[in-house]
Amino acid sequence: MRGLRRWWDDTAGGLPATFWYLWSGLLINRAGAFAMLFLSLYLTAARGASASLAGLVVGAYGAGGAAGTLLGGVLADRWGRRSTLLAAHLGAAGLMVGLAFSRHLAVIAVLAALVGMVHSMPSPAFVAAIVDVVPEARRSRAFNLQFWAFNLGMAVASLLAGVLAEASFLALFLVDAAATLAAAVVIALKVPETLTRRPAVTPRAVAGRRPGLHTALTDRTFLAFVGLTFLLAVLTMQTSTIMPLAMRADGLRPSAYGLVVALGGALIVVGQLFVPRLIEPYRKSTVLAVSTGLMALGFGALTVADGLPLYLGAAVVWTVGQMLAAPPNAQINADLAPPELRARYQSVFYLTFPAASFVAPALGGLSLQHLGEGHWLVVGALGLVAAAGHLLAGPPRERRVAALRVAAERGETVSAGR
């Protein structure tokens, strides 16, 4: 019992109540966010759309998500974290009800784009609020728990979505809306506004302009980190974009693909809580280099994979890499962001994921078609490049974070180019 208590204290002890309410809201949000997983099936099966038209509507959802990420970051720094979260959740619940009862494909496409926007808006606000309330020494654990809640919620959503979709598409959208509304209630009742107005301690404005979104977009140290995260995201997206095609080419059934994906999710849910204690003694750049190297090894191994056991073994390797990468990735992002631009920096960081969701299938499909199994050698090499990049970029990042801390104490500014 003492050992279990000590493990829990190391994993989640010392985190403020506001964090746990944010965490609960995120978990409810993700567990209930299942309707859009079946959007293409709903369009083709219930609304008579062609596969190409369904693809365009799903693409509209993705485009809305990219816009919502940036909008959420700006609003969270201007309105506040709580206000942005409430507006996004209430808007999502209302739009989901609208989707449930819409019949015309043009209306559904517009609503899908708007849902994509409001679904993406909370991400920068959630993370910025966590950084606001969690002491720096506990942030790695907080981000680890956030990643765990996200994946646990997605696992629950995947299970519920299949059941509800078979019963009723109308129920699918309405239950999603109800879950989103429940998350909004938790935030409204239990989460205070965490944004504090203070004298600006930010990278100096570009060309004399007031610091804003452009500051993040011209911060070279931060953008180098974002670029490396983009490479990591491209690797991660292989599992949902290119790997199913490779498994089909190897004669494996869709159930085999489902088993590989389920194994990764199960590993994260079971093992993610043990990661903070494992990585705590090491520098963040070293952990990210090792984690990205493991992902490179896992995906590179698919070059010789021709049966389910090899795919499962490779999935274990790359999933461990993903688990190790999550806490330091989030913490570095938080450390590099000046307090007054925290959510804007988060929004630029989160753009890597919709960008990777476009690049990975677009270029990966061509690579798989022309290179065959050699595609996985390219993916592995890309991961090794990212691993080396983290080792090279680590010292400048650490110097930048140290400079921001000193500047915050002295009320000074730090150049965005540092």
Q: pTM of this prediction?
A: 0.76
pLDDT at 414: 55
The region of weakest confidence among 112-116, 220-224, 272-276 is: 272-276
**Do 153 and 29 meet the contact criterion of CB atoms below 8 Å apart?**
yes
**What is the distance between the alpha carbons of residues 84 and 75, in angstroms, rounded to a whole number?**
6
The region of weakest confidence among 30-34, 130-134, 228-232 is: 30-34
**What is the distance between the alpha carbons of residues 198 and 110, in angstroms, rounded to a whole number?**
39
**What is the distance between the alpha carbons of residues 292 and 2, in angstroms, rounded to a whole number?**
35
- Residues 178-207 pLDDT 10s: 999 999 999 999 999 998 865 544 454 444
Residue 218: both structure tokens together: 């011209």
The region of weakest confidence among 45-59, 68-82, 128-142, 285-299 is: 45-59
- Residues 200-255 pLDDT 10s: 444 544 444 566 778 888 889 999 999 999 999 889 888 877 887 788 888 887 77
| Residue 412: Cβ-neighbour burial (10 angstroms; 0-12, 13-18, 19+) | exposed
Residue 23: both structure tokens together: 């965490």
- Comparing CA positions, the residue from 327, 347, 297, 329 lying closest to residue 394 is 329
Calculate mean pLDDT across residues 122-132.
91
- Ordered domains of the chain (ranges, CATH): 20-136+168-188 (1.20.1250), 216-418 (1.20.1250.20)
**Do 5 and 128 meet the contact criterion of CB atoms below 8 Å apart?**
no
Residue type, 96: M
